[in-house]
Structure 1
């Protein structure tokens, strides 16, 4: 493949300096090797078990919108997945002003036990063909379709065995390419793999998960009588906010914000099951969750993000749907602090936990549409100032007359809701 494509790093629009040298925010990618190398920098992480599609615009092949969906394990779902992904990327680009002139597709999947990367490539070929047909039905050609597996890549479009041999070609050594240099210059990070990021938000397993579920059962049994009493709802809300603040302070004082591979284990050790259960149930109240969303910047952001991740990991067993609240808060803090890739993943997981969770739906859409989060940050700042009494002491609880008690999402013997495939655009 000889087509050139232009990738832009987040530093801004392409420009030239006084010497006429092209600014590193604009990089020309030539051939499948450089396209494959650029993918983690475009997404901010290494995709795993993912179909990624990138819109291409103009004669120079400028990259536009991006979309990522999980590859369904059942091939019978591939046709619908390809059609929905093509519709989402192409029609979404049209709604934002410009229909793509082409699409680049990446199929990323590592081999299973006893499986070779070449076999993965062969097995995914029908999905690549369905993607080409789905995009062609919308009058947009697939300019290149690549399979990335086990450190190698294959082109489904290039018949030239000299540049695209049947055994595949090795990916560029990480950190050695032009794209890597430009990304470093622009401050762009690759935050591990998709699987790694999702693992940090996944529910606990083993005996500890059983202990946590029993703590949630106990907290629910203690909370319901308080709510039915009717006079203590604001007290419950105030207690929840104060508990959250205390746990954030414990996070801030307990260990470094990102202290290496064991950081999540250390954060988990800072939380007792009972207090985590109380906070998880309290966050099911919309007003309490909205107060928690105000801790999205400054010194509060890092400990809040660690707390929301830890709580998401504690939503186990029948309480899996309760993870929507802490996952959404984790996604919001990530987006607010500039980590859009992690935000999209966390918000996608929130919708997988509860596909009808409105706050996650709104944030996921806004993040994917490239909306500036400052508008929402300012609204939350204004609400915080409005709620704080003039004497300067913040009010901990929600306002009277708000909808629903903290216990309204407590559902006995309830598993996770049906999952949805998260997307990025």
Structure 2
């Protein structure tokens, strides 16, 4: 299989040709920007040489009964979404990534996931787009579900390339493309608290709900709660920004998150989480997406995602979506996809997350979305000489 890789492109960057399943398997972390684990990954291929296009990733459902429905949903998301943007794929590359469990072999994982590969290939075929290659990556080896030739795809699988030794690794290093850790490591920064801290945070959420919900339902109080939420968020963002000078090297993520958590009280977090359930307030908060606002906003949304504990787990859809949006806007697509995927796991019908997830996976230009939000922000700016709140 010869495919041109679409991630490393442009006049000043090399064009990489991938030959066969081995090089395709090695390319996956560079396509996504991280090492996937426990994942279904589908990549659209375009033209006679299979240039990489849009991609989707989803955690592998634990229940095999869910696989056919998930396969149809993912195929539609990738293929129909690409077609709506004028780029109907000519084919699809499919990857199933799962590490072996205790006492399990990679080959056993491959066989267990074979029905999932079949469901995905069938779903793509039903939309008149073939799957050119379907690979299982497990335990440092890979298998092809499409190639019957044991000379290149032996039953025991083939070893994955040693990190940094492949043509793709060399091209990525030349182009400045980096690979992050696994989605699991990125997810850990967004997962809800557990233990005594979580119980105290849930009590704070209960208090905030009792105070804010009657005001919101009163009608006239809704706008006031929104302004209070935004004002508090700005205050916390200023606190976060002041705590880390621009010249300070990036600390360990876990330590950085713990430091941010210490700067946000439980009552503040509860008030912000409840206030962001308003679509209008959330959309206003999404305008903090770039420049000096982007970094503290992202830290705040991550911190709030960790505070959506217990019975308030679904409330995390708002801060998770905002975290995904700011990550995408500031150039971290892997973190954006993880955050938006978690938002959809909390609330599959959360429209803002659905739209951003599709756009990010399809490789749309983020600047178009930023410009819409800039226009909204400018439309509320006070006229020259008028008094008003600075935004």
Normalising by structure 1, report the TM-score.
0.83
Q: Which residue matches 1:29?
A: 18
CA distance, structure 1, for counterparts of residue 17 and residue 342 of structure 2: 34
- Among 296, 299, 314, the alignment partner of 1:303 is 296
Question: Which 10-residue stretch deviates more, 303-312 or 52-61?
Answer: 52-61
Instruction: Show CA shifts across 1:259-293 (max 9, x none).
Output: 21322222212211111111111212233222211
- Evaluate the alpha carbon distance shift between residue 258 and residue 125 of structure 1 in structure 2; reply closer, same or farther with a 3 A threshold: same
Secondary structure of residue in 1 paired with 2:79: helix
Q: Which residue matches 1:165?
A: 154
Q: Which residue matches 2:389?
A: 395
Unpaired runs of 5+ residues, structure 2, are: none
Q: In the TM superposition, what are the counterparts of 1:53-92 in structure 2 within 5 Å?
A: 53-92=42-81
Cα pair 1:387 1:395 within 8 Å, conserved: no
Matched, 1:240 2:240: no
Q: Which residue matches 2:356?
A: 363
Q: Which residue matches 1:375?
A: 368
Q: In the TM superposition, what are the counterparts of 1:316-335 in structure 2 within 5 Å?
A: 316-335=309-328
Secondary structure of residue in 2 paired with 1:213: helix
- Evaluate the alpha carbon distance shift between residue 279 and residue 141 of structure 1 in structure 2; reply closer, same or farther with a 3 A threshold: closer
Cα pair 1:351 1:357 within 8 Å, conserved: yes
CA distance, structure 2, for counterparts of residue 121 and residue 295 of structure 1: 44
Matched, 1:4 2:2: yes
Q: Which residue matches 1:273?
A: 266
Cα pair 1:257 1:302 within 8 Å, conserved: no
Question: Which 10-residue stretch deviates more, 307-316 or 285-294?
Answer: 285-294
Matched, 1:292 2:290: no
CA distance, structure 1, for counterparts of residue 36 and residue 226 of structure 2: 39
Q: Which residue matches 2:125?
A: 136
Cα pair 2:54 2:362 within 8 Å, conserved: no
TM-aligned CA deviation for residue 181 of structure 1? 2.3
Q: Which residue matches 1:260?
A: 252
Question: Which 10-residue stretch deviates more, 145-154 or 72-81?
Answer: 72-81
CA distance, structure 2, for counterparts of residue 229 and residue 98 of structure 1: 48
Q: In the TM superposition, what are the counterparts of 1:108-119 in structure 2 within 5 Å?
A: 108-119=97-108
Instruction: Show CA shifts across 1:237-268 (max 9, x none).
Output: 33322221121122122245842132222221
- Evaluate the alpha carbon distance shift between residue 199 and residue 130 of structure 1 in structure 2; reply closer, same or farther with a 3 A threshold: same
CA distance, structure 2, for counterparts of residue 84 and residue 227 of structure 1: 36
Secondary structure of residue in 2 paired with 1:56: strand
Matched, 1:120 2:114: no
Cα pair 2:8 2:16 within 8 Å, conserved: no
- Evaluate the alpha carbon distance shift between residue 228 and residue 347 of structure 1 in structure 2; reply closer, same or farther with a 3 A threshold: closer
Question: Which 10-residue stretch deviates more, 317-326 or 368-377?
Answer: 368-377
Q: Which residue matches 1:338?
A: 331
Cα pair 1:283 1:325 within 8 Å, conserved: yes
Q: Which residue matches 1:149?
A: 138
Cα pair 1:48 1:110 within 8 Å, conserved: yes
Instruction: Show CA shifts across 1:295-343 (max 9, x none).
Output: 1110110011010011011011111121111111111111211222322
The structure in which a higher percent of residues are helix is: 2
- Evaluate the alpha carbon distance shift between residue 375 and residue 140 of structure 1 in structure 2; reply closer, same or farther with a 3 A threshold: closer
Cα pair 1:387 1:394 within 8 Å, conserved: no
- Evaluate the alpha carbon distance shift between residue 391 and residue 326 of structure 1 in structure 2; reply closer, same or farther with a 3 A threshold: farther
CA distance, structure 2, for counterparts of residue 327 and residue 36 of structure 1: 30
CA distance, structure 2, for counterparts of residue 328 and residue 87 of structure 1: 22
Matched, 1:184 2:173: yes
Instruction: Show CA shifts across 1:398-417 (max 9, x none).
Output: xxxxxxxxxxxxxxxxxxxx
CA distance, structure 1, for counterparts of residue 206 and residue 88 of structure 2: 51
Size of the aligned set, in residue pairs, is 386
Unpaired runs of 5+ residues, structure 1, are: 16-22, 398-425
Cα pair 1:9 1:186 within 8 Å, conserved: no
Cα pair 1:237 1:396 within 8 Å, conserved: no
CA RMSD of aligned residues (A): 2.5
Q: Which residue matches 1:18?
A: none
Normalising by structure 2, report the TM-score.
0.89
CA distance, structure 2, for counterparts of residue 131 and residue 160 of structure 1: 22
- Evaluate the alpha carbon distance shift between residue 47 and residue 62 of structure 1 in structure 2; reply closer, same or farther with a 3 A threshold: same
Secondary structure of residue in 2 paired with 1:131: helix
